[in-house]
Structure 1
Amino acid sequence: MAPPDSARAENAPAPRQLAFYTLVVVAFLAASSVPTPLYPLYQANWQFSTPMLTLAFALYMFTLLLALLTTGKLSEYLGRRPVILLGLGIETAAMLCFLVAQDLGILLLARALQGLATGIATSALGAAIIDTDHQRGPILASVAPLVGMGLGALGSGLLVDVAPYPMRLGFLLMTGIFVWQLIGLRGTRESVAPRSGALVSLKPTARIPVPVRPTFLRVIPACIASWSLGGFSLSLGPVLAKQVSGIETALIGGAMVCLLSLMGAAGVWRLRRKETRHILLLSSTLLPLGVSIVLLGVMTDSIVTLLLGFGIAGPGFGGGFMGAMRAIMPLAPDGERASLMAVLYVVSYLSASLPALVAGFATQQFGLEPTVYGLGGYVILLALLALWGVSRQRVE
């Protein structure tokens, strides 16, 4: 007779559980970037405007943020596994919506469900990874999302170019992966004992403690600049790559997002043992340098220069959020870290979604190239502001 779930969970090796949870994070973020190379196809087939294209991305971010703010602490009360199970279930439903989508309305529904699922699962998965391994967990929780985002965009772009059913196949594969993970979740060990208070925990709490505010104001421009660049690359990036290269291929757009994300992950990994001030200074230097090269690529219609710029900006993209988090989180008094983390998430996801949404409408009004110059200048200005703030006063 097969042993019960609880017995199997107790015998589950920690390295295997750590790998499983890390792969679930990679899958969630890979799925989030699978639609990115498909946006030009959706736009051509369904005849909707560029603002609607960026709305699809922004809707994902808004629902993700809403879920994070309301369910971010839910796994502390229900346990990690039930919350991850809920997120995986909704994510699978989102993949099925993508599979059957025939118009913009279903696409928007799929993106909203996907944001909701990712927001529900993100906090529980991050906590489960750290519960499983206190030493390797934090760095894996930081690197896995960037790796997933890059692989999802690159894989989707490749499938669009070389495989049949370009608007469906990627989501079919992701559906299979999520079903496998739903089954695999049964073999994991629960690390939190359920307790009462789950409904009360759904009340959003977001506050910056007074001792944190001066440092928060100095370092947050680096975080905003990083997420703004990430949001732009995931929404309008493939359209930009297509215009600059002049080539009808989805792979270049996917490669651009992949390059930014994987270089961001590499930056987080290489900088993980550096001082916070060093991370922020390097991030605030590489980000404006990389974006300047991106703008040069747009100006000269050079796809090589464009990709080079994203590659240089990548470590700044990854380091901006990590540096800001490491600078402010230790300053929060006991009991206020969760609300401060909520503020950081609010700022980050709004920084990714709002500029991308504004850029979508600006593209309609002024054209893609002037919009890219404007957004690029905005990111450069914020990164230089962070560089000035961190260089003026020591950040531990």
Structure 2
Amino acid sequence: MSSAATRGGVPLPAVPTPLSRPSADAPGDPTHRIPAPAPADLPPRAPARRRASHTTGFWFVAVAFTVLMAFGTAPTPLWPLYEARDHFGATTVTVAYASMVVGAAAAFLGLGHLSDRLGRRRIIVPALLVGIVASVVLIVWRDLPGLIAGRILNGAGLRLMASTATTYLHDLHHEVRPERAGSVLPGIVATAANLGGLATGPLVAGAAAEWLPAPLITAQAIFTLAMAVCLALVLCTPETVDLELPAARPPDRFVLRPGGRRSFGAAGALGAFAFAILGLISSLGASVLHGTLHTDSHLVVGLAAFLMFGSAAAGQLVLGRLPLPRLLTVGAVVFPVGLVLCAVALYHPALWLYLVAVSLSGAGSGLLFKGGVERAGSAAEPASRAGVLAVFFVVAYLGMGLPSVLFSIALRHFAVQTAMIGFAAVLSCGAVVSVVVALRDRAPGPGELSAQSARPS
């Protein structure tokens, strides 16, 4: 038995016992040990890097998650400034915004599973580095190609973080509280960091644009500094993946249970319709507020996006534990109401009504999206659940980008009020139909599959 003890995973100094002491009086005694070499004879050891505790690391990762997600939506109140600087219109704004989806999709499909083999920290650190590089590109490359390149890098870093940080938070919490395997705390913190970060970014950038000089540079510099601090914090966070264990054979990426194809299709549609309104307000919200509601305040633009994403987070946190049918039903009611009010607020311009409308549509979007995640997970074979969810997120992010581009094209032929009515009608009907299909075509669970296979034909 080793004489070294451990406490909290950290080895304590070995306590010498009589069996381990060299005895000069009894050289022939079988308990005699050869003296250990002097410290000078040992090769010099590299100084060990100090690590934070798992509890502290948990909050370090939560902060890094929040900051990087905030960086993703920070341009929301800045798009009119980019339009004026680079001389482009609404369609180009939506293309530049949607270019983030390209980086996000590539990261989800190609890199989303690497943390199981390389370690959580080895994915979070590159995610922050990619975010810092994206911010630097946006600062120094002051042209439309630089804007698009920065957004693609932004999307890649964002998705590397989102696909790993949630699991990292669960791992760190489990290391501290292994007896609380079913604790909801990591999920609550992950939701708050994800959607809370998306909500905070426009508010910070809007405040910078309202009160600080050179906002396109200042806002990016603020997030660059914040991400650099988060990088230092994450480097001090302990790893939770045992890298010495042999890597398991990677599971099949996308395998659905029998009868789960239609259910997954409904789940993907829920994610796409839910994210469509988030993408529209994030990309064209500033133009709508300036052109239709005659609001020139960058802070108000940031506030609208803050309320939308914040309501999505609040909806998930408050109602997220409802049974799935009730969750989706509430979302299918709140989401269209918010969209209708958005159209009304544009026909009868009223800022307060617009803010209420985006809050309601955001809350409904959050509920529909959460229901879509649950439905997609239930349609997947257990061994490929991560791969199925990665495809689900890609579909959802396509919904965030493509409808915004189509809306901007519609603005060339229709007034914004008419375009919003059509947009609201399509999204509302699509969301309701998707909810009906998702609840009717429920993918069978493992127990049901076993029962079905046991029935005589």
Scaled by the length of structure 1, the TM-score of the pair is 0.91
Confirm or deny: 8 A CA contact 1:54 1:357 kept in the other structure: yes
Q: Distance in 2 between matches of 1:328 and 1:204?
A: 16
Out of 207, 216, 232, the residue aligned to residue 167 of structure 1 is 216
Pair 1:236 & 2:284 matched: yes
Which residue is 1:355 aligned to?
A: 403
Confirm or deny: 8 A CA contact 1:222 1:283 kept in the other structure: no
**Equivalent position amino acid for 1:100 in 2:** V
SS where residue 372 of structure 2 aligns? helix
Which residue is 1:315 aligned to?
A: 363
Pair 1:368 & 2:416 matched: yes
Confirm or deny: 8 A CA contact 1:294 1:310 kept in the other structure: yes
String of CA shifts for 1:18-47, please: whole Å, max 9, x gaps. 211111111111001111110011102221
SS where residue 366 of structure 1 aligns? coil
- Residues 190 and 106 of structure 1, relative CA distance in 2, 3 Å threshold: same
Which residue is 2:19 aligned to?
A: none
Q: Distance in 2 between matches of 1:333 and 1:141?
A: 24
- Residues 284 and 299 of structure 1, relative CA distance in 2, 3 Å threshold: same
String of CA shifts for 1:285-311, please: whole Å, max 9, x gaps. 100011111110011111211111111
Kindly state the Cα deviation for residue 252 of structure 1 after the two structures are TM-superposed.
Answer: 1.9
Which residue is 2:48 aligned to?
A: 4
Kindly state the Cα deviation for residue 225 of structure 1 after the two structures are TM-superposed.
Answer: 1.7
Q: Distance in 2 between matches of 1:168 and 1:322?
A: 35
Query: Equivalences for 1:106-117 in 2 at 5 Å?
Result: 106-117=146-157
Pair 1:82 & 2:122 matched: yes
Pair 1:48 & 2:79 matched: no
Confirm or deny: 8 A CA contact 2:209 2:215 kept in the other structure: yes
String of CA shifts for 1:220-240, please: whole Å, max 9, x gaps. 443222111111111111111
**Equivalent position amino acid for 1:375 in 2:** F
Pair 1:210 & 2:250 matched: no
Kindly state the Cα deviation for residue 394 of structure 1 after the two structures are TM-superposed.
Answer: 7.3
SS where residue 215 of structure 2 aligns? coil
**Equivalent position amino acid for 2:223 in 1:** M
Pair 1:306 & 2:359 matched: no
Q: Distance in 2 between matches of 1:210 and 1:238?
A: 45
Which residue is 1:260 aligned to?
A: 308
Which residue is 1:377 aligned to?
A: 425
SS where residue 167 of structure 1 aligns? helix
**Equivalent position amino acid for 1:98 in 2:** L
Where structure 1 has 5 or more consecutive residues not aligned to the other structure, the ranges are none
**Equivalent position amino acid for 2:102 in 1:** F
Q: Distance in 2 between matches of 1:261 and 1:217?
A: 25
Confirm or deny: 8 A CA contact 2:377 2:389 kept in the other structure: yes
Q: Distance in 2 between matches of 1:334 and 1:246?
A: 51
Out of 88, 93, 105, the residue aligned to residue 145 of structure 2 is 105
Q: Distance in 2 between matches of 1:216 and 1:343?
A: 10
Kindly state the Cα deviation for residue 278 of structure 1 after the two structures are TM-superposed.
Answer: 1.3
Confirm or deny: 8 A CA contact 2:127 2:161 kept in the other structure: yes
Q: Distance in 2 between matches of 1:364 and 1:16?
A: 52
Which residue is 2:200 aligned to?
A: 151
RMSD value, Cα: 2.4
Q: Distance in 2 between matches of 1:147 and 1:384?
A: 26
**Bigger Cα displacement from structure 2, 251-260 vs 128-137:** 128-137
Where structure 2 has 5 or more consecutive residues not aligned to the other structure, the ranges are 1-44, 174-180, 446-457
Percent of paired sites with the same residue: 24
**Equivalent position amino acid for 2:400 in 1:** A
String of CA shifts for 1:68-91, please: whole Å, max 9, x gaps. 110000111111111111111111
Query: Of the two structures, which has the highest relative contact order with CA contacts closer than 8 Å and spacing of 6 or more?
Result: 1
Which residue is 1:130 aligned to?
A: 170
Which structure features the higher share of helix residues? 1
Kindly state the Cα deviation for residue 390 of structure 1 after the two structures are TM-superposed.
Answer: 5.4
Q: Distance in 1 between matches of 2:63 and 2:255?
A: 32
Which residue is 2:324 aligned to?
A: 276
Confirm or deny: 8 A CA contact 1:80 1:124 kept in the other structure: yes
Q: Distance in 2 between matches of 1:393 and 1:215?
A: 6
- Residues 247 and 333 of structure 1, relative CA distance in 2, 3 Å threshold: closer
Kindly state the Cα deviation for residue 218 of structure 1 after the two structures are TM-superposed.
Answer: 4.2
Q: Distance in 2 between matches of 1:127 and 1:222?
A: 23
- Residues 302 and 372 of structure 1, relative CA distance in 2, 3 Å threshold: same
Which residue is 2:299 aligned to?
A: 251
Which residue is 1:64 aligned to?
A: 104
SS where residue 259 of structure 2 aligns? helix
Kindly state the Cα deviation for residue 363 of structure 1 after the two structures are TM-superposed.
Answer: 2.2
Q: Distance in 2 between matches of 1:217 and 1:98?
A: 36
Which residue is 2:77 aligned to?
A: 37
- Residues 384 and 127 of structure 1, relative CA distance in 2, 3 Å threshold: same
- Residues 67 and 390 of structure 1, relative CA distance in 2, 3 Å threshold: closer
Kindly state the Cα deviation for residue 321 of structure 1 after the two structures are TM-superposed.
Answer: 1.3
Q: Distance in 1 between matches of 2:70 and 2:356?
A: 23
Out of 165, 190, 210, the residue aligned to residue 141 of structure 1 is 190
Q: Distance in 1 between matches of 2:273 and 2:154?
A: 24
Scaled by the length of structure 2, the TM-score of the pair is 0.80
**Bigger Cα displacement from structure 2, 151-160 vs 133-142:** 133-142
**Bigger Cα displacement from structure 2, 30-39 vs 307-316:** 307-316
SS where residue 260 of structure 2 aligns? helix
